Amino acid sequence: MSNDEKKWPSAVFEVTDADAPEAQPPPLSQPPPNGAPPNGNAPPGAPPRERPTLSQIEGEIARESGKYRFRRAIRSAAYAILIIAALAILVSTFLLPVMKVYGDSMKPTVRADEVVVCIKKRAYEPGDIIALYFNNRILLRRVICVGGESFNIDEAGNVYVNEQYLDEPYLSEKDFGPTDIDLPFEVPEATYFVMGDHRATTLDSRSIAVGTVSKEQIAGKVLFSIWPLNTARSLVKPITVTTETE
């Protein structure tokens, strides 16, 4: 074997990490300091927060419970007020209408600015004061006679029903008034002949412009005057028919 082919022993170099830093095991997780967030994001230098005591927790629960009860009471009161208001509207509209009087067509029995209570009925009788709808208004008038009866009035204002004199003690004065119907007048069936108590100027069934009143036009019978309080009274006063004239 030639010199060129002499085989030299190969040098073996061992590379170590003696100069590299020694690997350290990962640190064990430490519990957060008292009062610090679990994620360790508490601001540096922040004082640790104290844990609430049992009495503080109970007090907070009591306060929250009180707030809840208060809100529930407010809601209950609001619902009750709404229900009462709705019932009052229904009653005042469909069962016991309450109305304020304008004008003097029913004086001296009922005067302007009084507040009256009505009740709906299936039928109405002579003497009843009724509230009726006429030309988008509500009028108060008194039933004088009903369908099938005969009405008459003389120049002095005396009224006759079926040729019998009608006693009307509620009037302060009598008057022929604005009468333009043919007399004696036969009241059509299922209608009511009505008049105001202030006979001199009141438009009522004596006038063709008003005529007799059907049941559908009637809002109810007037029962009481409730305002002003010092004049509150019943307004249910029947009338009588006699055979004598004044």
Cis peptide before 228 (omega within 30 of 0): yes
Mean pLDDT by runs of 10 across the 246 residues of the chain is: 51 50 57 54 66 80 83 86 74 71 90 91 92 91 96 96 94 94 96 96 94 93 91 75 46
The predicted pLDDT at position 240 comes to 52
Q: Give the pTM.
A: 0.62
The predicted pLDDT at position 56 comes to 78
d(CA 163, CA 161): 5
- The residues facing 165 across adjacent strands are 160, 242
The predicted pLDDT at position 239 comes to 54
Which positions ≥6 away from 142 have C-beta within 8 Å? Answer: 106, 109, 127, 128, 129, 130, 170, 194, 195, 196, 197, 239
Which positions ≥6 away from 140 have C-beta within 8 Å? Answer: 101, 105, 106, 110, 116, 129, 130, 131, 132, 196, 222
Q: Which amino acid is at 31?
A: P
Q: Residue 217: what are its φ and ψ, rounded to 5°? A: -85, -10
Q: Which amino acid is at 115?
A: V
The predicted pLDDT at position 146 comes to 96
The predicted pLDDT at position 171 comes to 93
In this structure, are strands 164-167 and 240-242 parallel, antiparallel, or unpaired? Answer: antiparallel
Q: 3-state SS string over 119-153?
A: ECCCCCCCCCEEEEEECCEEEEEEEEEECCCEEEE
End-to-end C-alpha distance for the chain, whole angstroms: 175
